[in-house]
């Protein structure tokens, strides 16, 4: 269960924004909740924009574009963030694509655009339990944006400002709130095992950071989409709450970048656990050249989970990383407060990288 000490009580601006969102009328027609649209005001709270000052290029709005009941008490909601206008790549070659064993032989060069955006709560004014999130990057007509259209989703992070982050609570980044979901261009979905859910409160205090890389000489307008499946808590779903825990080789930095050399390399990061419970699901994110992310409990000697990268499965990726496996067996191992957890990142890169990433997010049922 969540403990009181992990809740952020000083939300002031965020609370005011949340109340404003709740008061905002939904638009659209049809049966209640079936195709309603719910917009979020463009501005991100001052406390957030101050935190990421100098790190983002601007803010955009977000909209709930589809909402339907699945028949088993769950609600499926599609949220679109954008339009995000990715700056043109006006100078230099964008590099090569190809079908190497771990991505192209050369680095692709593009122009980066990073935005922040508020995100509407998927359950509109009531607490709910999120059980899955499926991300995507699309154009206004719904077609997918990817390397084959000269753009990629560098990364996206979803924060809950009502709760403290588990592994960055005492750091500056912890002021952003709890990191609850992330996606790279491989667009791995977050699936929590049956019987468990991630609690989201009734007041909209979610926000996101999205970074794009555009390889085209002209600007491109795209949307970051999330299809969220959740169960309203008022239905007494019986789901057990899980806590998201973020493990990161470059933890508590805004961009999560770290260096990897050309060739084979291993990078590690350790964290002394501040919670006790059972890990039920985990998934990772790597860049081109990445092989495997593995989480170990060094105190017990157990391997808790491994997330493997794969390439060449989808032509739209032009040989770049397109898959990261997830661990959703439901019982990956136990963690006790004070245990030393170690994240091990294995790369075999064709070139040196200064902005590699090695991130794993897991969902823990707290028992103490």
Q: Cα dist. 329→56, 192, 205, 325, 336 in Å?
A: 37, 9, 30, 12, 20
The fold adopted by the segment(s) 240-366 is: Jelly Rolls (2.60.120)
Query: Do the beta carbons of residue 80 and residue 37 sit within 8 Å?
Result: no
SS (H, E, C) the chain: CCCHHHECCCCHHHHHHHHHHHHCCCECCCCCCCCCEEEECCCCCHHHHHHCCCCCCEECCEEEEEEEECCCCCEEEEEEEEEEEECCCCCCCCCCCCCCECECCCCCCCEEEEEEEEECCCCCCCCEEEEEEEEEEECCCCCECCHHHCEEEEEEEEEECCECCCCCCCCHHHHHCEEEEEECCCCCCEECCCCEEEEECCCCCEEEEEEEEECCCCCEEEEEEEEEEEEEHHHCCCCEECEEEEEECCCCCCCCCEEECCEEEEEEEEEECCCCEEEEEEEEEECCCEEEEEEEECCCCEEEEEEEEEECCCHHHCCCEEEECEECCCCCEEECCCCEEEEEEEEEECCCEEEECEEEEEEEEECC
Give the contacts of 53 (CB within 8 A, at least 6 positions apart).
none
**What pTM value is reported for the model?**
0.84
Which residues in the chain land under pLDDT 50? 1-43
The 10s digit of each residue's pLDDT in 8-54 is 333 323 332 332 332 333 333 332 233 323 344 444 555 555 555 56
Per-residue pLDDT, 13: 31
Per-residue pLDDT, 266: 98
Q: CA 139 to CA 112: how far, in whole Å? A: 18
Query: Could you tell me the sign of the dihedral formed by the alpha carbons of 139, 142, 145, 148, in that order?
Result: negative
Query: Do the beta carbons of residue 204 and residue 21 sit within 8 Å?
Result: yes
* Residue among 2, 366, 361 nearest 180 (CA): 361
| Residue the block writes with tokens 């990772």 | 284
Indicate the domain borders of the chain: 4-235, 240-366
């Amino acid at each position: 269960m969540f403990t009181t000490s992990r809740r952020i009580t000083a939300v002031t601006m965020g609370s005011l924004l949340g109340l404003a969102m709740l008061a905002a009328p939904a638009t659209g027609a049809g049966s209640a909740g079936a195709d309603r649209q719910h917009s979020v005001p463009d501005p991100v709270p001052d406390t957030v924009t101050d935190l990421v000052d100098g790190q983002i290029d601007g803010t955009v709005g977000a909209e709930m574009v589809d909402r339907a009941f699945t028949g088993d008490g769950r609600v499926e909601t599609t949220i679109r963030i954008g339009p995000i206008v990715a700056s043109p790549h006006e100078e230099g070659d964008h590099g090569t694509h190809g079908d190497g064993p771990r991505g192209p032989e050369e680095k692709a060069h593009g122009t980066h655009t990073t935005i922040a955006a508020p995100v509407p709560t998927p359950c509109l004014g009531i607490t709910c339990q999120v059980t899955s999130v499926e991300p995507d990057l699309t154009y206004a007509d719904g077609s997918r944006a990817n390397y084959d259209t000269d753009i990629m989703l560098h990364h996206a992070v979803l924060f809950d400002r009502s709760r403290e982050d588990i592994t960055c609570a005492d750091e500056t980044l912890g002021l952003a709130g709890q990191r609850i979901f992330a996606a790279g261009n491989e667009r791995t979905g977050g699936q929590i095992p049956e019987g468990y859910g991630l609690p989201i409160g009734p007041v909209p205090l979610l926000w996101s950071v999205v970074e794009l890389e555009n390889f085209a000489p002209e600007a491109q307008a795209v949307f970051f989409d999330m299809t969220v499946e959740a169960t309203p808590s008022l239905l007494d779903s019986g789901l057990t709450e899980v806590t998201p825990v973020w493990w990161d080789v470059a933890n508590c930095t805004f961009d999560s970048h770290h260096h990897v050399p050309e060739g084979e390399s291993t990078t590690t990061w350790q964290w002394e656990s501040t919670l006790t419970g059972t890990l039920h699901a985990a998934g990772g994110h790597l860049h081109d050249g990445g092989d495997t992310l593995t989480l170990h409990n060094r105190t017990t000697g157990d391997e808790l989970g491994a997330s493997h990268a794969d390439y060449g499965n989808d032509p739209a990726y032009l040989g770049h990383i397109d898959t990261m496996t997830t661990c959703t067996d439901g019982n990956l191992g136990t963690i006790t407060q004070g245990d030393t957890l170690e994240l091990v990142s294995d790369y075999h890169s064709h070139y040196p990288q200064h902005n590699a990433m090695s991130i794993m997010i897991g969902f823990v049922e707290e028992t103490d």
